[in-house]
């Protein structure tokens, strides 16, 4: 299995998320969330074959295909939701859709992350960086609880938790949204790469024991992709 | 809004009531949300557990994965699992997770009762019987800080049946795998050829014995038809239309014994006896296509048996001819001498004839005894340093007695190094080969004995101007009792044992005896045989005895420059 077919950008290439509703690039509104979900769908589709190949080693070889199906279902659902649906509600709906549409364990896990994030967002029209930081943390907490996983278990969490932590650190230090997103992406990438050496402690790869070491965790890779999609390029 | 008395409350009071009610609803909804979340968590945990259980793998892998999963589910810090065998109460630890598990869990548990009471004796340990038969027991240790998660334990309890089924499945898979290995070992170690073909008679399997006999590797054979792989038609086994594999595939009636021939790894025909069966079932390894018929052939190389039969037939034929002819002659001449008065000259010629014939008989008996001795294992050689030139000289001396030495042309290099052989045996070979040449080549034609060194061998050649040995029979005349067709027609007496004995004796020395055309293109035969040179011959001959130069023996090429 070769290295992921994703290029990590230098920090300078990451621009501020902009959308008609965003205020000075420091908040996120419903159109921005929709735009993010579209980016997520595209990046997952682009790397679906690779994710599936990775999954064929450690899991049951359907991760990429499952995510494509899930985000396609999300796209259809978004078209049917009223334009004024607030970000929190959008994210929860996405979560429920993913739970229902994505096969395997990744559906409930990503679904939980989105639902928890949406729940944390409440019914606010726009989300500021602090809320976004809490939202990412809530996503990581929810996924960790549902999956009963911790850092180092060779799961999605190995990319998601560092991303949420890095985001929170930048926001806590007064950093911009763009800086927080970049930091999250880099942390997710490092977390994803760390899974190669790990012995799986969760999921189907568990049965491989020590033989699971040496391969990237497909969930961590797809999580990195979803974090990477946060940035508007 | 009204209160219990139907009295309309005061606005301020109403506001308080309303707020209380909202609080209640919020609490309830929070609790409902929490419940739903826990329910979802438990469902997901069950889902993950069943996914893991359904994912296959070996018993050990499954045991380890299950312990890890259940320790996680219950929020414990360590766990272990014990598995028993069917019909036995004893459980053996199959996997452990977490710190000190080796120390705090016994390697064996004497039955599930013992397991229960053992786990009950440890306050932080919770035991769980996953299956009664075969016994399967799990123990989870809570951490010092917090008790086990009852919700997680409940999931494990609920999955008990599934866990039992999964372990039964894994045991079954292991048993099947073991059986498959054993069967494969039998098939692989069989000395008979085992060949399996599909309905189109394309090869599915071929065991190592088959690969060796046919000289084709399994990957090269798979997918080709049996006719291509075995070459029965070419080898004269049977016509394509009479293929026994096609027959069993078509009629399903097993063939218990049928002899045929196939093309061996040297391209020669190998006689085989085979049994053929058809079976209907899934092709191992095939995803689909169950219920397709396959045919299996078990073929035994009977060329050795055939050879033995031929040997026996040859022996009977040779002995009956070669023994009876001289006996009849002796009988005839001696009868005449006994009963008839013959003149002195005739009498002498008769006695000479009897003497001659007796020699022939003695030679035959010697040869037969030689063959018997050759087949005794091992053939004992008295190896000693010898000179090939001396052996040739001795032969010349013997030939001089019969006046045939004039035909022997010796062409040996002067500095021929010594050989290390059983001189008596090699002398016998030389004598036999030269005698053959003298016997079958026209009178007055020369028989040339030459020799040269090739590596660690001395290769001797004997060339004659005789009728030659047909190419197709060259391999056969090296077998016992086989005489080439043109020789049989020549009516020159012979046993068909000479060259066989020579070949065996040379092979016993590690050498090789070959029959070839004469390299100068003239009619006749060249028999060559190799003999081992005396190791370290330099010391014995005094040649090549100089000390080696210290530096490299060749000038080295200069590098760069």
Whether the per-residue pLDDT at A89 is higher than 80: the answer is yes
**Model confidence at A81: pLDDT above 70:** yes
| Measured distance CA(B367)–CA(B361) in Å, rounded | 10
CB atoms A207 and B65 under 8 Å: yes
- Please name the member of B51, B57, B61 whose beta carbon is closest to the beta carbon of A105: B51
Indicate yes or no: CB of A201 within 8 angstroms of CB of B68: yes
- Report the pLDDT value the prediction gives residue B285, as an integer from 0 to 100: 52
How high is the pLDDT of residue B550?
41
Chain mean position to CA B534? 36
Residue of A nearest to B37 (CA): A146
For residue B69, give the nearest of B128, B21, B19 by alpha carbon: B128
Among all residues of chain A, which has the CA nearest to that of B52?
A204
Residue B520 has what pLDDT? Answer: 83
CA-to-CA dists, residue A126 to A21, A86, A87, A229, B334, angstroms = 8, 8, 7, 19, 135
Contact A207 B61 (CB under 8 A): yes
Q: Return the pLDDT at B30.
A: 86
Q: What is the pLDDT of residue A1?
A: 42
DSSP B243: -
pLDDT of res. B282: 58
B44–A147: do the CB atoms touch at under 8 Å? yes
- Contact status of A60 with chain B (Cβ, < 8 Å): yes
What does the pLDDT read at residue B98? 87
Residue bearing the bigger pLDDT, B34 or A135: A135
Nearest partner of B530 among B473, B466, B467, B462, judged by Cα? B462
Q: Tell me the C-alpha to C-alpha distance, in Å, between residue B103 and each of B40, B84, B92, B98, B145.
A: 37, 20, 15, 11, 20
Per-residue tens of pLDDT for chain B, all 561 residues: 555 566 676 778 888 999 999 999 989 988 998 888 888 888 888 888 888 888 777 888 888 888 888 888 888 899 999 998 888 889 999 889 888 888 888 899 999 999 999 999 988 898 988 888 888 899 999 988 888 888 878 888 888 888 888 888 888 888 888 888 888 888 888 889 999 999 999 999 899 999 988 888 888 889 899 888 888 888 888 888 889 999 999 998 999 999 898 988 888 888 899 999 998 865 555 444 446 789 999 999 888 777 777 777 777 776 777 777 778 888 888 888 888 888 888 888 888 888 888 887 887 788 777 777 776 666 778 889 999 999 999 888 878 777 778 888 999 998 899 999 998 889 889 988 998 888 888 888 899 999 999 999 999 999 998 888 888 778 778 877 777 767 766 667 777 778 888 898 898 899 999 998 888 888 889 999 999 999 875 544 444 443 333 433 333 333 333
d(CA B229, CA B560): 55
In percent, the amount of chain A with pLDDT more than 70 equals 89
What pLDDT is recorded for position B268?
83
Q: How far apart are CA B479 and CA A211, in angstroms?
A: 58
Q: Give CA B346 to chain center in angstroms.
A: 67
In this model, does residue A23 exceed pLDDT 50? no
Give the Å distances, CA to CA, from A43 to A216, A224, B163, B203, B286: 18, 10, 39, 47, 36
The candidate with the shortest Cα–Cα distance to B303, out of B479, B471, B498, B516, is: B479
Q: How far is CA B509 from CA B380, B382, B384, B529, in A?
A: 10, 10, 12, 11
Please give the pLDDT value at position A103. Answer: 79
Chain A residues within an 8 Å CB radius of B48: 105, 147, 202-203
Specify the pLDDT at position B284: 54
Q: Which of B44, B48, B55 sits opposite A207 (nearest CB)?
A: B55
Asked which of A77-81, A193-197, A205-209, B479-483 is least confident by mean pLDDT, the reply is B479-483
Nearest to B41 among A145, A201, A203 (CB): A145
- Interface size A-B, in CB pairs within 8 Å, comes to 47
């Amino acid at each position: 299995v070769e290295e992921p077919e994703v290029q990590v950008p230098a920090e300078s290439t990451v621009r501020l998320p902009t959308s008609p509703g965003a205020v000075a690039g420091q908040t996120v509104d419903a159109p921005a969330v929709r735009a993010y979900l579209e980016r997520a769908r595209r990046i997952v589709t682009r790397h679906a074959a690779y994710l599936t190949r990775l999954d064929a080693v450690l899991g049951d070889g359907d991760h990429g295909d499952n995510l494509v199906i899930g985000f396609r279902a999300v796209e259809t659902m978004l078209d049917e939701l009223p334009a004024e649906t607030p970000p929190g509600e959008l994210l929860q709906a996405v979560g429920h859709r993913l739970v229902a549409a994505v096969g395997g364990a990744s559906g409930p896990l990503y679904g939980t992350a989105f639902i928890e994030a949406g729940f944390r967002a409440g019914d606010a029209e726009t989300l500021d960086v602090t809320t976004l930081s809490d939202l990412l943390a809530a996503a990581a907490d929810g996924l960790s609880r549902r999956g009963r996983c911790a850092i180092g278990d060779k799961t999605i969490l190995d990319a998601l938790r560092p991303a949420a932590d890095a985001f929170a650190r930048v926001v806590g230090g007064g950093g911009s949204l763009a800086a927080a997103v970049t930091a999250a992406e880099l942390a997710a990438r490092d977390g994803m790469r760390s899974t190669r050496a790990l012995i799986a402690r969760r999921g189907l790869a568990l049965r491989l024991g020590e033989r699971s070491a040496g391969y990237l965790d497909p969930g961590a890779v797809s999580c990195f992709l979803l974090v990477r999609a946060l940035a508007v390029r | 809004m009204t209160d219990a008395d139907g009295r309309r409350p005061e606005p301020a009071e109403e506001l308080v009531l309303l707020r209380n009610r909202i609080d209640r609803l919020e609490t309830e909804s929070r609790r409902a949300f929490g419940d739903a979340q826990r329910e979802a968590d438990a469902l997901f945990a069950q889902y993950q557990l069943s996914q893991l259980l359904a994912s296959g793998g070996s018993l050990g892998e499954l045991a380890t994965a299950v312990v890890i999963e259940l320790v996680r589910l219950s929020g414990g810090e360590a766990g272990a699992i014990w598995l028993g065998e069917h019909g036995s109460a004893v459980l053996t630890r199959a996997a452990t997770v977490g710190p000190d598990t080796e120390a705090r869990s016994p390697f064996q548990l004497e039955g599930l009762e013992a397991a229960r009471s053992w786990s009950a004796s440890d306050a932080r340990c919770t035991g769980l019987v996953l299956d009664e038969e075969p016994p399967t027991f799990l123990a989870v240790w809570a951490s010092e800080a917090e008790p086990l998660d009852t919700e997680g334990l409940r999931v494990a309890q609920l999955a008990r049946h599934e866990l039992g089924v999964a372990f039964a499945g894994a045991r079954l898979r292991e048993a099947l795998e073991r059986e498959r290995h054993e069967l494969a070992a039998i098939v692989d170690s069989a000395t008979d050829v085992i060949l399996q073909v599909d309905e189109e008679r394309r090869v599915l399997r071929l065991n190592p014995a088959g690969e060796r006999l046919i000289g084709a590797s399994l990957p090269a054979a798979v997918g080709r038809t049996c006719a291509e792989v075995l070459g029965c038609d070419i080898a004269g086994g049977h016509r394509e239309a009479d293929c026994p594999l096609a027959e069993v595939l078509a009629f399903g009636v097993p063939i218990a014994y049928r002899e045929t021939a196939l093309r061996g790894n040297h391209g020669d025909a190998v006689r085989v006896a085979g049994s053929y069966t058809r079976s209907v079932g899934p092709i191992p390894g095939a995803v689909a296509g169950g219920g397709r018929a396959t045919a299996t052939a078990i073929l035994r190389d009977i060329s050795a048996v055939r050879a033995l039969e031929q040997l026996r037939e040859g022996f009977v034929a040779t002995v009956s001819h070669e023994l009876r002819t001289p006996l009849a002659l002796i009988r005839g001449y001696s009868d005449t001498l006994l009963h008839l008065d013959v003149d002195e000259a005739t009498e002498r010629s008769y006695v000479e004839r009897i003497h001659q014939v007796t020699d022939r008989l003695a030679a035959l008996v010697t040869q037969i005894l030689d063959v018997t001795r050759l087949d005794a294992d091992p053939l004992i050689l008295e190896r000693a340093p010898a000179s090939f030139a001396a052996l040739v000289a001795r032969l010349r001396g013997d030939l001089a007695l019969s006046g045939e030495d004039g035909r022997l042309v010796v062409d040996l290099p002067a500095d021929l190094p010594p050989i290390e052989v059983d001189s008596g045996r090699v002398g016998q070979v030389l004598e036999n080969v030269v005698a053959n040449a003298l016997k079958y080549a026209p009178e007055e034609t020369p028989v040339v004995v030459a020799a040269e060194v090739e590596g660690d061998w001395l290769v001797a050649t004997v060339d004659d101007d005789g009728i030659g040995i047909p190419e197709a029979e060259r391999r056969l005349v090296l077998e016992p009792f086989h005489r080439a067709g043109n020789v049989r027609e020549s009516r020159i007496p012979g046993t068909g044992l000479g060259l066989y004995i020579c070949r065996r004796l040379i092979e016993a020395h590690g050498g090789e005896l070959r029959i070839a055309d004469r390299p100068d293109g003239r009619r006749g035969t060249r028999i060559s045989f190799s003999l081992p040179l005396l190791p370290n011959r330099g010391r014995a001959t005094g040649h090549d005895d100089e000390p080696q130069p210290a530096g490299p023996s060749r000038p080295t090429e200069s590098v760069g420059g």
